[in-house]
Structure 1
Amino acid sequence: MPGLLPIKTYNPMISIMLQSLVMVLIIPLFQKKNVFSILAGLVVIGFSWRLLFLGNIAINHALTGFQFVQLQSLSNMIQFVFLYGIIESLVLALSLSIMLLTKQRFNFIFKPSMILSISSFAIAILLNVIL
């Protein structure tokens, strides 16, 4: 975005890419019909991309010296990973519940697939490299 520090544009971009990567890796858990595996997948999604993002900003901090709020204290790190991860997992679980409840009434045409997820991730990387 014009006028912003490059790091302010880079952080949302990398977080979206990390979320996509985690989704590509976690989708096989959703293929199972076991409720426990689906809920475990939601929790893993909420925590894992945040841990990867913390690693990314730690590297950025070491290279650039830019001060990230998430790295300023241990409580900020715990809040970012665990508290926000739990909130994200709850929102995802609520969304999944709504989807399952409405799926009985409506027939959705779109069905998630591994090929679509991987290709979307590849396109996101390609566009970030090109643009």
Structure 2
Amino acid sequence: MDSHVGLDYIVDNPDYCVKLASALETACPSVKKRVVELLSALCVYSQDGRQRAIDTLHTYQERKGERYRLRVVVHELQKATTEDYQTALLAFINCLVISTPVLKDRIRIRNEFIGLKLLPILNELR
């Protein structure tokens, strides 16, 4: 998905969020890593792409009956066994926060991560 065509396709087709959320349910870390990398790319590609990444997290949240939309990211980071996957998850967190254009919304996302106990997990990764 290094091309604009592929990213445009995802941005233009909101139904693709269901496919990405389904891929996050797999037990295969390499597949999850690819999905997280794609979500990161969407965040930095455009605001519509960022919204597709958020929509994917919402879809996953609804499918799994989670209370918080960002829980999957924090949970995956906590249980990740490879540095590559941890790096991809941390990059996604950064992309999600940095690509949020409104400061108030950026702070809200950051606080969501903090509320999900991201900081202690980050301290354990050292």
TM-score greater than 0.5 by the shorter chain: no
Identify the structure with bigger relative contact order (alpha carbons < 8 Å, sequence gap 6+). Answer: 1
> Whose radius of gyration is greater, 1 or 2?
1
Question: What TM-score range do you get, normalising by the shorter chain?
Answer: under 0.3
| TM-score for the superposition, normalised by structure 1 | 0.26
